Structure 1
Amino acid sequence: MGVPKPAGTPQSQHNVRRDWRAILRKAKLDETYRIHDLRHTFLCRLIEDGVDPRTAADVAGHSDPRITLARYAYSRAEKRKSALLGVANPLRALLTPEEGAEEANSEAS
């Protein structure tokens, strides 16, 4: 792991783990959380927020964006619903034009 000391030199894994456990205790979090869990969450959120795969792969240190996407891109229920409604609503308007016309007429009044 590449967590540097303030001087820029690498820290020992023992010291990193000790500091991590202290942070978890202070935050009153379960001490079984690993630094890697933080990395995983961060990369998942990058992808969810629409960061391009190449940039996410660079941040992760992966040579191939497919590795990053395979490991960190998840299908979330809210995103699936939003994607489906984004397609369904315009189709619904095309299939039921009288409703759209009624709404337009009522807004014009």
Structure 2
Amino acid sequence: MPRRRRPRRDREGRQSARGWLLRGLGTNLLTPKVGLFYVSFLPQFIPANVNVIAFSTLLAAIHAGLTLPWFVLLISATRPFAGALGRPAVTRTLDGITGTVLIGFGLRLALLPHAR
């Protein structure tokens, strides 16, 4: 059985940026939802008379190019809150708020009059 390598860590014991990047890339590539997205969503934007593989690769590159700055912005904006978000009380509160909102959406959807 192959031995799993531990992620590289810096002097303070935190995982390196490269380690996080590889971890995220591996998770993304092994998630079936990502493959299903590309197989179901992107074909509608491929013109009839083009190389399908090349154009699909171009669309995937555009998607990655748009997603990367968004994640950099999201990580940069939330990094100052990382300490607070790691506390159990804050996590419980946020879970309660999001759970309440989702239940509210579900109730609203369930109580809508159905078109016949």
Normalising TM by the smaller chain, what interval? under 0.3
The answer to which structure has the higher helix fraction is 2
- Which of the two has higher C-alpha Rg? 1
Under a length normalisation based on structure 1, what TM-score does the superposition of the two structures give?
0.24
